[in-house]
Structure 1
C-alpha cells in the first residue's frame, strides 16, 4: 500500500501492544483497544480476500491473522473497560497517544518506503545492466530485406536515422503483441524523436501465413489487410484494433471497422495482399531459433532491435534499459555501456 509493505503496519501494532504491557496506562490501553478492533476487522477482510478471491493463504499471513485476532480477544476479555456499548468499550482512544503513534507510524512508513525504493532501484540497476550486456551479446541478424512501410512510431523520415530502430513482427490478435504495443507507446513518449518502429505483419493465421505452421488467430490476416490498404490510416487502425482487442476477434466488428475507415476493398485488393505477403515471407530470412520451426521468425511478437532479435516480451524497465543504451551509444555517451561491460 503506497509502496509500504502491509507487514510494516502489523509490526507497528505488535510493538504498541508490547509497549502497552511494559508501560501500562489507561490512555495507552484504550488506544490499543481501538487499534485492536480496527486491526481485527482488517485481518478478517484480508483473510476473506485471500481465501475467496486469491484462493490461497500463506503460512506467515495465517500466523499474523491468528495473533491479531487473539490480541483483540485478550483486550475484549481482560481489558480495563468492561462496561458500556461498543463505542464506550472500543472507540475512546487517548488523543495524545493517537497523535504520538500516528507521527511515529508515518515517519517509520516514510523511511520504510524510501528504503524499499532505493533497494528496488539498486536491484533493477543490476538487472538492467545484465540485460543490456545480454542484448549486446546477441548475434547480429540484421533487418529484413523488406521493411514494412507501416510505422507505428516515426521519429525520422529515414528508418536508419533514429538511434532506436525496431522492426516489430506482430499480429493484431496476439495478446503479447497488445502488451508490447502498450510498452512501445510508453517508449514513444520517453524516447520522443529517437525511435522508429516498423510494424511487420506476421499474423499467426494460416489463411495468409505459410512461414510458420500455426493457426492461432483467425481473422488476423483480415486485420493485416485492412490496416495496410491506406498508409495514411494505418496508425489509426493499429491503435483502434489494439484498443478493442477482444472485440477485434469478431468478424462483425472487423466488418464495421472496414466500413468506418473505408477499407473494405483491402480484402480483395491484390496489391495489398501481395504487400502483406512480402512482409510475412521475410520471416524465412532468419535462421532457426528453435528446432521445432524451420525459420527464426516463428512467433509474435518478435522484434529486430538495431539488428538484434528479441523474441517475446520483457519487463518495461529492462526494455527501457536497452533503448537507453542504444541512445547513449548513438550519442557517444559511455555511461551505460561502461556499467554493463563491468557486470559479470
Structure 2
C-alpha cells in the first residue's frame, strides 16, 4: 500500500508540474503577443512586460511611457476564452485595475476569443488580446483594434462538434420551443439521444452563454445567436445526392408527392427540403426543382410515385438519401399530407444554398424564426 501511495503522489506531482509548465508557457506567449502589439504604436516610447508579483490577482503588468507619462496595463491570462469563463475573469480584472492609483488599464488575454467573448470585453470596457491576432486596446490617445478570420484547429473542431448530427437533434428540439425549460431526461427523450450527450451539449451551450440552467431546467438565453453560430458552421446532412427527371408537374406532382410523403406506417421516410420546404413554410418565389430528404425506402417510394428516371442533366428532382435520420424527427406538416424539414433545418439549408437561397432564408427567418430577444 505504501508503494501505491508513493506512486500516486509522484503521479500527482508530475501532473501539477506539467500544469505549471503549461501556464508559464501560455503567459510567455501572452507577453510576446502584447509586446508585438505595443511595438507598432509610435507614441509609446518605451514599455516593459513583466510577470505580476505573487498575490496581485493578475498575471502580467505592462509599464510604458506614453508621451512622457507613465501608464500601467494589468493583464489576466486564461487558457479558456468561452464567454462564461470570460465574464467571471472580467469582473475580477476590473476590480484589480481600479485598485491602482491612478487606475490601470485592464487587458484580458486568451488563446482565442470568439466574437461573443470579444463583445463581453467591450461591454465591460476591458481590452483584449488573443493569440490568434484579435485585439482591442484603448487608453489615452492609443487605440488598437485588429480582427482576423482565423480560428485555431481545436476551436474549429469545438465549434463544429456542437452541430454534429446527434448534437443537432438536441438543438432542433431546443429551438422548436426556445422559451421552454428542459430537464436533461426530458430533452434526451425528445431528441432521441443519450443522457450523456445531452449533458455535453448543455455544458457547451452554457459555456458559450447561449443557454442558462435554472431550477426548472435548461433554457436557451440567446436562440438567435445559437442559430447564427449554427449557420456559420453549418454542414449539410451527410448522404448520397441523386438527381432525377419527372414529367409530372403542377397539381399531379403535388398529389404524387403527398401520397409518398405521408408514410407513417410504412417505416420509410421522405420529406421536402430546402426550396421545396420553404415553398410550403414561407413562400418566397418558387424554383422548378423539387428537393427531398429520404431514407432508402423513401427513395424507392419517390421513384415509383413520381415516375422518376435518373438524369445526368436537366434534373428537376434532387433527392438526398441521408445517412443519419435525425432530420426526420423534426419534420413538420404545414399542409395535410405535406411533410417538410423544420423551419430551422430549412433555414440552414437555404442559407447554405448560396446567393439565391440567402434571400429566401432571410425571409423564412423573419416569418418563422423571429424570437423575442
Superposition TM-score, scaled by structure 1 size: 0.23
Which structure carries more strand by proportion?
Answer: 2
Superposition TM-score, scaled by structure 2 size: 0.22
User: Which of the pair has more CA radius of gyration?
Assistant: 1
Which structure carries more helix by proportion?
Answer: 1
